[in-house]
Structure 1
Amino acid sequence: MANPILPLWEYIPDGEPRVFGDRVYLYGSHDNAAESDFCDNKLKVWSAPLNDLNNWQCHGHSFHTRPDRDHKSDTEERTDHRLFAPDVIEKNGKYYLYAYIVGSKGCVGVSDRPEGPFELLSEYKYLAEDAGDDGIYNDAGVLVDDDGRVYIYYGFTESNFNEIDPQNMYEIIKGSYRRGVIDDSDSAPQEQRFFEASSPRKINGTYYLIYSPCRGSRLAYATSDKPQGPFTYRGYIVDNGVDYPGGNNHGSVCCINGQWYIFYHRMTNNTIMSRRACVEKIEILPDGTIPPVEMTSLGFEESLNPYKITPAEIACVLKGGCFITEKDIFTRSIVNITDGNVMGYKYFDFGNDYSTKTMKLAVKVRGMGTKTKLKIYADGCEDGELLGECEIGTADGVYTAAVKALTGVHSIFFKAEHGVEGWTAQYFENKPLFEFEEFTFMK
């Protein structure tokens, strides 16, 4: 699957990937289109076979804080609030869900299956002096160490740590509380200072904590030789705000079939809500560092096929104010495209046909009553190669153009221009020109 990796109508942010058995599971919050707040009152689980990462299956709802048409609430009425940022770990053949319920002491659920459904086991149990974050355990991430000890990392604007009693998986061990396992002081640089979204991993004997720093469109990471830290900032992994409408970020790393990935989310609907799950390949170097990676349209694909129909909404570059919006379950377009806006896709493999000099581009748009020029570039608008230009008319429809043929792997960028010259051009500078739905290349 290309990015986003789940069906394009699904909004799963805050993704925690876990490999259990022969499948990779994605646990996350649940957003909706056109909502004015983060998350709702249910959690969903998706998974894919390790040998077929493009075949994601929905396991339905795994936990609720409100009843719906098919389920009773899994919590008492007093915890009838939104659910945030779950994590799931396995211990002694049981699967434990850790989630933050707004205004409560969190919750721990248990199931015999990694996909749930999860039955409420308990709130966290602790002495007041043994919990940070006002005892709500915001965005908790959990680590089961090699010796069976269980650690929980959590907090909003403060980086907290506790150890959990492995006998019941919800009691906080007395005296285990630590504050500032990642630097959360005002003196720390914003790109390093802890904000939220704790996600622990142990990799090659080193403890990693993936988190969202105060520069909130990034996922950063810190390392330590001890589970309780302190953790040292090492860098950031991905930034969902690079040439894209960014917002908060939350996710983690996972090794699948020997390849490491970073799972994260992107925003849609001109909001910092409506977030969708994405993934990029990463590399962990021998010294433990993780070089930053760019956002792409690839997901689990090695490359995109330019000769198939590409939905416009899988763009990984949106510059100038255009954005993706859901009009209905079947229709999501790039809208608010004005003069100079850029839409980019990384990466297509055009093959090795060296005999063809040109190819045909077809774009499907919704017209906005304005004639537009759509310029097509390979490998960037500023320093890339101009392949051609497509004239977009005033009406809904498919428009075509002959463009220069390519071989090999390239990114593709579209740049919209209103094409109006003279003194009237000023009236078209901020006018929406068209809405972009899909495109394909043909030979």
Structure 2
Amino acid sequence: MIGKINYIVPALGLTLLGTVSGFGQQRAETAPKLLSKPLVSHIYTADPSAHVFNGRIYIYPSHDYEAGVPEDDLGSHFAMRDYHVLSMDRINGKVTDHGVALDIKNIPWAGKQLWAPDAAYKNGTYYLYFPVKDKQGVFRIGVATSKSPTGPFKAESAPMKGSLSIDPAVFTDTDGQTYMYIGGIWGGQLQRWRSGQYNPNGKEPATNEPALGPKVARLSKNMLQFDEPVKEIKILDKAGKPLLAGDNKRRFFEGGWMHKYKDKYYFSYSTGDTHFLAYATGTSPYGPFTYQGVILTPVQGWTTHHSIIEFNGKWYLFYHDTELSGKTHLRNVKVTELTRKPDGSFVTINYPAK
């Protein structure tokens, strides 16, 4: 376990001030100017789920490492095995790595691949939600608890009943109800659940059929289980028609996130193989959601996964790219400011090319 380590987060878009280990230092000095610099460089991090707890920003990322697994379209090379929690008291302030918050060896039912997590707080307890393949190779969602936002977290003895696929994103509405959004196609296995039962040979819809939507369910009061069966979310175009599976520049792929702004629900997500962060809006946490546009254009690296928070009156996008390694599976978490128009829509951020 790494103890608490502090790092200086550089101002957005400025030169990295230094690294603790050598793997990112030379690259950071010679790399082209991008949107922002990695929050930490002593470990590889990705898929940042950011939250504000007690006035401090806590980030729950994936922890990438070199597992020596050949790369494929199912993401087998993303063989993560633990989570670290990062925190900072302000944007561009120093970042603290609080060490290992949960290790796969302490999850009784887990097989492999601890993918993108999320966290929540309620009833005096912090909850860490995580996808991991069970011992049969099926992705399920697990939950672990702690009295501290930084852990260590203790995992429940079994996955959440009725859970499936990947990328849990937890949202608590202004009425106190909490919802989980889940799902990812291809390696995330969402297409294997089209019938309502797991089918290892399940396929995506044809290109002219409605795309697979993410799933949502309200959580129970104890935050440990679903309070209802999961439902599919519909994402529509502005004419009210479902986005099609072949519309891969707009349809949902993975990495959903929910936030609320002025009584409107904003569901944002990755388009996967086309690498956009897109968003859609609706009037209910269950949707349907109407596609609105692109938040972030494709970044360096194959994957993109994000979170959005408000902090001190400004909105921020946490995301990742591969600036430090140049390798798809060794990513680094970053943050950049978002700009909202008067109607609540986002100004698209164009990621600079090399």
TM-score category, normalised to shorter length: 0.7 to 0.9
Whole-Å Cα distance in 1 between the matches of residues 140 and 220 of structure 2?
Answer: 19
Contact 2:216–2:233 under 8 Å retained in 1? no
Deviation of 1:56 after TM superposition, in Å, equals 0.3
Is residue 49 from structure 1 mapped to residue 89 from structure 2 by the alignment?
yes
Instruction: Write 1 or 2 for the structure with the bigger share of strand.
Output: 1
Give 2:347's match in structure 1, choosing from 267, 291, 304: 291
Whole-Å Cα distance in 2 between the matches of residues 112 and 53 of structure 1?
Answer: 27
Deviation of 1:163 after TM superposition, in Å, equals 2.6
Whole-Å Cα distance in 1 between the matches of residues 166 and 151 of structure 2?
Answer: 22
Q: Secondary structure at the match of 2:58?
A: strand
**1:178-327 → structure 2 map (5 Å cutoff):** 178-182=231-235, 186-187=244-245, 189-241=247-299, 245-268=300-323, 269-295=325-351, 317-318=353-354
Q: Secondary structure at the match of 1:108?
A: strand
RMSD after superposition:
2.1
Mark the runs of 5 or more structure 1 residues left unpaired by the alignment. Answer: 67-72, 127-134, 296-315, 319-443
Question: Which of the two has higher C-alpha Rg?
Answer: 1
Whole-Å Cα distance in 2 between the matches of residues 166 and 34 of structure 1?
Answer: 36
Is residue 161 from structure 1 mapped to residue 215 from structure 2 by the alignment?
yes
Give 2:132's match in structure 1, choosing from 87, 91, 101: 101
Deviation of 1:185 after TM superposition, in Å, equals 5.3
Task: State the AA in 2 paired with 1:63.
Answer: L
Whole-Å Cα distance in 2 between the matches of residues 81 and 215 of structure 1?
Answer: 23
Question: How many residues align structurally?
Answer: 277
Mark the runs of 5 or more structure 2 residues left unpaired by the alignment. Answer: 1-8, 11-35, 70-76, 186-211, 237-241
Tell me which residue corresponds to 1:333: none
Report which structure shows greater RCO (CA 8 Å, sep ≥6).
Answer: 2
Deviation of 1:222 after TM superposition, in Å, equals 1.1
Contact 1:220–1:236 under 8 Å retained in 2? yes
**TM-score using structure 2 length:** 0.72
Is residue 25 from structure 1 mapped to residue 58 from structure 2 by the alignment?
yes
CA distances 1:245-276 after superposition (whole Å, capped 9, x unpaired): 43110001111221111111102534311110
Task: State the AA in 2 paired with 1:265.
Answer: H
- Identity among equivalent positions (%) equals 30
Contact 2:217–2:231 under 8 Å retained in 1? no
Q: 1:282 to 1:35 in 2, by over 3 A?
A: farther
Whole-Å Cα distance in 2 between the matches of residues 9 and 84 of structure 1?
Answer: 19
**TM-score using structure 1 length:** 0.59
Runs of 4+ in 1 over 4 A off after TM superposition: 33-36
Whole-Å Cα distance in 1 between the matches of residues 222 and 309 of structure 2?
Answer: 26
Q: Secondary structure at the match of 2:247?
A: coil
